[in-house]
Amino acid sequence: MAGSLNKVLLIGRLGADPEIKQMVNGKNVARLSLATSQSWKDKNTGEKKEKTEWHRIVVFNEGLVNVVQQYLKKGAQIFVEGQLTTRKWKDEQSGQDKYSTEIVIQGYNSSLTMLGGGNSSGGIANDNNQSSNNDDMSQISNDMDDEIPF
């Protein structure tokens, strides 16, 4: 379809250590659980409120999978750029079809950048091995450092 765009940009923290699996073709894939949070004050009560969304991230680029495995741990703050994909799978117990929506990092227009703290904001882009420094992104995302639920 001409004139369409499937692009997702997220800044968040890992809710668990990355999970590395081997696919049937022998290549590795990384699965990440990413939390994004927003907070606000309730206008009526003045109480601070927060909402956290969880996102499934799948990394197919082997070089990037190796970096994810070596450097990312639970709580790491990252910036991801990828595409939304919904895949169908069969539940082994019930035999019913299930669906999972994930952000896929694969190809030249996807990237994963480590932000903040011990991850020193080194940028990692997919396929074309670009590197970028995202200090600006660190400053933007400082609001998310408070009260992350993990």
16, part of any domain: yes
111, part of any domain: yes
Q: Can you give the CATH number for the domain in which 86 is found?
A: 2.40.50.140
95, part of any domain: yes
150, part of any domain: no
In whole angstroms, give the CA distance from residue 87 to residue 99: 6
The number of domains in the chain is: 1
Predicted local confidence at residue 137, as pLDDT = 33
3, part of any domain: no
108, part of any domain: yes
Tens digit of each residue's pLDDT (9 = 90 or more) over 66-116: 999 999 999 999 999 999 999 998 888 999 999 999 999 998 889 999 997
Q: Name residues whose C-beta falls within 8 Å of residue 43's C-beta, 6 or more positions apart in sequence.
A: none
1, part of any domain: no
2, part of any domain: no
Structural domain of 80: 8-145
Place of tokens 């379809």: 1
pTM of the model: 0.71
Please give the single-letter amino acid code of residue 66.
N
Q: What are the backbone angles phi and psi of residue 117, rounded to the nearest 5°?
A: 40, -135
In whole angstroms, give the CA distance from residue 19 to residue 28: 10
